[in-house]
Homo-oligomer: A and B are copies of this chain.
Amino acid sequence: MKVVTFGELMLRLAPNGYYRFFQNDQMQATFGGGEANVAVSLAGFGLDSTYVTKLPTHAIGQAAVDSLRAFGVDTSKVIRGGDRVGIYFLEKGYSQRASVCIYDRAHSAIAQANPEDFDWNRIFDGADWFHFAGITPALGGALLEICLDACKAAKEKGVKISFDPNYRAKLWSLEHASEAMRKLLPYVDLLIVNEQQAQELFGVSIPASERNDATDETTDEGYRVLCETFRTRYAIPKIALTERRTFSAEENRICGKLYDGTTLYTSKQYRVHIIDRVGGGDAFDAGLIYALLIGKEPQQAIEFAVAASALKHSVEGDYNRVSVNEVEKLAGGDDSSRVQR
């Protein structure tokens, strides 16, 4: 089964360990980006994974391509051109100190791409699924138009579409994002969202009676109502929800929900100790796409997605380097974490 993902692949520059920026003269230099992270996960799960973006021809652009090829992602549809690979600087937080993310992604090759750069009909040849996130239209320029082109082409070819708003306040305003995303929603078969984004971007909220602000807890009935509103208002068949509680920079609790139009399925909760927080949501997206594509039942699908996400938090870098076996083992209830020898 073939999945196409589209977005920006960035150079990620991070101090080693828990150093603050430039505390010494070394940086960990890897690549990552929301949809690329999904593409790598899917290739690792054994699917035919094609990633689409635009990258310069120089050595930095080539290294970005190579970083995907190593995982078996098909990069033959990557457009080459432009001047810059977008960059993000990441400083990992710890305890009470929050992570810091500085974007230097303006003027990147993909941010300056044109609609003509992408022949979506050819790209979706043989594809079963198309995934992208709200970061991509947020890049500005022609990106919203390009995303719409892609959605239309996908719809015509019967390719399922999943979308994760992934709102980034450093890229665009809520108003701008909301307006853009509402143009995209009609094409979406699977929306992956959280409570805050549902409220802020789409005005879909949980009834106050189902929300306890003091304990920061929401009832499943609350989530069900939220999903139903989405289904009613935007005719989206499937909605997935992620729930995260942040105890400290390195300790979170995560959970997932999947609504199939009638029922809300809730996963186990995981208390995760964090090696790398970035890509936790992308790992969830990839896990869910994989699980639905291979035909898992809703409960198993949401368990797989959350287990994939939980494992990502223990993996350094943007990419989720875990196998289907590892995810199944955790989703199946074996979280003993004993040494296998």
- The interface residues of chain A, by DSSP majority, are classed as loop
Additional A-B contact list (15), CB under 8 Å, known A94-B273, A107-B107: A20-B315, A22-B63, A22-B67, A26-B27, A60-B102, A60-B104, A66-B72, A95-B273, A95-B275, A95-B310, A95-B314, A98-B340, A99-B338, A100-B339, A103-B341
B91–A104 contact, CB under 8 A? no
The answer, yes or no, to whether A232 is at the interface (CB within 8 Å) is no
Q: Distance in Å from the Cβ of A20 to the closest Cβ of chain B? A: 5
Interface string of A149-188 (1 = CB under 8 A from B): 0000000000000000000111000000000000000000
> Chain B: which residue is nearest A98 at the CB level?
B337
Within 8 A of B (CB), among A97-112: 97-104, 106-107
Q: Distance in Å from the Cβ of A69 to the closest Cβ of chain B? A: 5
What CA separation (Å) do A322 and B66 show in the bound complex? 14
**Inside 8 A of A236's CB, which chain B residues have their CB?**
none
The answer, yes or no, to whether A147 is at the interface (CB within 8 Å) is no
A24–B25 contact, CB under 8 A? yes
Interface residue count on the A side (C-beta < 8 Å)? 80
Whether A89 contacts B102 in the complex (CB less than 8 A), given A70-B69, A94-B275, comes out as: no
The answer, yes or no, to whether A18 is at the interface (CB within 8 Å) is yes
> Chain B: which residue is nearest A76 at the CB level?
B72
